[in-house]
Structure 1
Amino acid sequence: MKDNVKALALSCLLIPGAAFAQINVGDTVGSTETDILAALEAQGYTSMEIEFEDDEIEVEAMLDGQEYEIEISPETGDVLAINLEDEEEDDDEDEEDETDS
């Protein structure tokens, strides 16, 4: 019985940590390159490219072998959207470009 209680307590501690392993829409990461890089690196993101545009900041970053495009508000630093980039979609676009030529 004691072992079950210990296992349950340990799993309760680990599950919230897993939920914070990735940023989410609505999280604040900042609006400067330094703040954004620090926030994403703290969550395990790598290979980041940041583009500052008038109405949003776009970040391309890798997490666990997956590429994400993250849109951030330049006014608030809040994450507006997170999109998983699909490699198959990119391959299809390349094939279409080749056939158009």
Structure 2
Amino acid sequence: MMKYGKVTLLAGLIVPGAVFAQIGVGDALGASEADVRAALKAQGYVITEVELEDGEIEVEATRDGKAYEIEVSAETGIVLEIELDDEDDSNDS
């Protein structure tokens, strides 16, 4: 029994350190809006908008002065797409 306790303890120590890395496609954030918000906030993102649409949690957020659109599966909690918003696109004449 002690063997499993050590594995669980090690897993608990490793996972929290990973939250400081930037998220990527395929990462698990959680399947609810609250889970996604918490995971992104823990990684330094400032959330500006969240919508649930077509089975996806769509998040608009900023981090380090850059704006992102992040799509997460509401079924699996997996990041499906991350798009860096290019503000130059909105300045077209």
Place the TM-score, normalised by the shorter chain, in its bin.
0.7 to 0.9
Q: Show structure 2 runs of 5+ residues with no match.
A: 1-16
The residue correspondences of 1:71-86 to structure 2 (distance < 5 A) are 71-86=71-86
Moved over 4 A (4+): none
The residue correspondences of 1:1-101 to structure 2 (distance < 5 A) are 20-92=20-92, 95=93
Structure-2 separation of matches of 1:77 and 1:88: 31
TM-score by length of 2: 0.74
Highest RCO, 1 vs 2 (Cα 8 Å, sep ≥ 6): 2
Q: Report the CA distance between 1:33 and its aligned residue.
A: 1.5
Question: What is the CA RMSD across the aligned residues, in angstroms?
Answer: 1.7
How many residues are treated as equivalent by the alignment? 76
Q: Show structure 1 runs of 5+ residues with no match.
A: 1-16, 96-101
Flag the structure with higher strand content.
2
Structure-2 separation of matches of 1:47 and 1:28: 17
Residue identity in the other structure for 1:91: N
Residue identity in the other structure for 2:46: T
Q: Report the CA distance between 1:31 and its aligned residue.
A: 1.9
Q: Report the CA distance between 1:21 and its aligned residue.
A: 2.4
Map of 2:11 onto structure 1: none
Percentage of identical aligned residues: 61
Flag the structure with higher helix content.
1
TM-score by length of 1: 0.68
Structure-1 separation of matches of 2:48 and 2:33: 10
Structure-1 separation of matches of 2:69 and 2:84: 6
Structure-2 separation of matches of 1:48 and 1:72: 16
Residue identity in the other structure for 2:28: T
